[in-house]
Chains A and B, each alone.
Chain A
Amino acid sequence: MTPNVKLLDINNVAIGIKRRKRETLVIVREANFDVNYGEMVGIVGESGSGKTMICRAIIGTLERRGASVIGGEVLFEGLDLRTINEAKWKTLRGKVIGYVPQSALAGPNPVLTIEKQLAEALSQVEGTGSMKNRSKELLDLVKIRRVDTVMKQYPYQLSGGMRQRVMIACALASKPKLLIADEPTTGLDVTVQSQIMELLREIRRDLGTAIILISHDLALVDEVCDKIVVMHAGATVEVGPTSSMATPRHPYTVALNSSRIDVAKPGGELLTIKGNPPSVGQWNPGCRFAERCDYVQQDCLVGEHPALSGNKGEHQSACLHADKIGKI
Chain B
Amino acid sequence: MSKRDILMEVENVSVTFGSGATAVEAVKNCSLTLNEGEPIGIVGESGSGKSTLARVMAGLQPPSAGAIRFRGDNVFKGNKSFQSGNRNQVQMVFQDPYGSLNPQLNGLSAVAEAVRIHTKVGKDESEQKALELLERMGIGKLDALKRPRQLSGGQRQRVSVARALSANPTVLLADEPTSAIDQSAQAQLLKLFLGLLNDGLSIVLVSHDLGVIRYLTKRVYVMKDGVFVESGDTDTVFNDPQEDYTKMLLASIPGELGKAARAKLKK
Interface of A with B (CB < 8 Å)? Answer: 46-48, 159-160, 187-194, 197, 216-220, 222-224, 255-256, 259-264, 266-267, 270-273, 276-277
Contact = CB atoms under 8 A, between A and B. Distances in A.
Interface in B176-208: 179-180, 182-188, 190-191, 194, 208
Nearest to B95: A187
Nearest to B45: A189
A47 B254 contact: no
B165 interface: no
Contacts of A224: 254
B234 to A, nearest CB: 7
Contacts of B179: 187
Contact of B184 (A190, A220, A223, A256): A256
Given A46-B184, A218-B183, A276 B152 contact: yes
B145 interface: no
B229 interface: no
Contact of B254 (A220, A255, A264): A220
A128 B188 CA distance: 54
A261 B254 contact: no
A259 B186 CA distance: 8
B210 A272 contact: no
A256 B254 contact: no
Contacts of A260: 183, 255
Looking at chain B's contact residues, the main secondary structure is helix
A220 B88 CA distance: 39
A219 B255 contact: yes
Nearest to B153: A47
B189 to A, nearest CB: 9
A272 B190 CA distance: 10
B187 A217 contact: no
Size range of the interface on B? 35 or more
B182 A270 contact: no
A272 B257 CA distance: 20
10 contacts: A190-B249, A191-B252, A197-B254, A219-B254, A220-B255, A223-B254, A256-B184, A262-B258, A266-B216, A277-B152
Q: Please indicate which of the listed interface residues B180, B214, B235 has the most CB atoms of chain A within 10 Å of its own CB.
A: B214
Nearest to B176: A187
Contacts of B258: 194, 262
A274 to B, nearest CB: 10
A161 to B, nearest CB: 9
A189 B46 contact: yes
Contact of B252 (A190, A262, A266): A190
A219 B253 CA distance: 9
A259 B255 contact: no
Nearest to B155: A276
A194 B252 CA distance: 5
Given A190-B210, A223-B255, A261-B211, A217 B183 contact: yes
A263 B255 contact: yes
B216 A256 contact: no
Contact of A272 (B180, B187, B209): B187
Top 6 closest pairs, chain A to chain B, by CB: A219-B255, A259-B187, A261-B211, A262-B257, A194-B252, A220-B254
Given A47-B152, A259-B183, A270 B254 contact: no
Nearest to A48: B152
A270 B45 contact: no
Interface string B244-263: 00001101111111100000
Contacts of A266: 214-216, 234-235
B212 interface: yes
B190 A270 contact: yes
Nearest to B257: A262
B191 A191 contact: no
Nearest to A269: B191
B184 A259 contact: yes
A187 B153 CA distance: 14
Contacts of A192: 45
B176 to A, nearest CB: 10
Contacts of A194: 251-254, 258
Given A261-B212, A266-B215, A270-B187, A46 B182 contact: yes
Contacts of A277: 152
Q: Please indicate which of the listed interface residues B191, B209, B255 has the most CB atoms of chain A within 10 Å of its own CB.
A: B255
A46 B152 CA distance: 10
Given A189-B46, A261-B190, 18 more contacts: A47-B152, A48-B152, A187-B180, A190-B209, A191-B248, A191-B249, A194-B253, A194-B254, A197-B254, A220-B254, A220-B255, A222-B255, A256-B183, A263-B255, A263-B256, A267-B215, A272-B184, A276-B152
A270 B184 CA distance: 10
Contacts of B187: 259, 261, 270-272
Contacts of B183: 46, 216-218, 256, 259-261
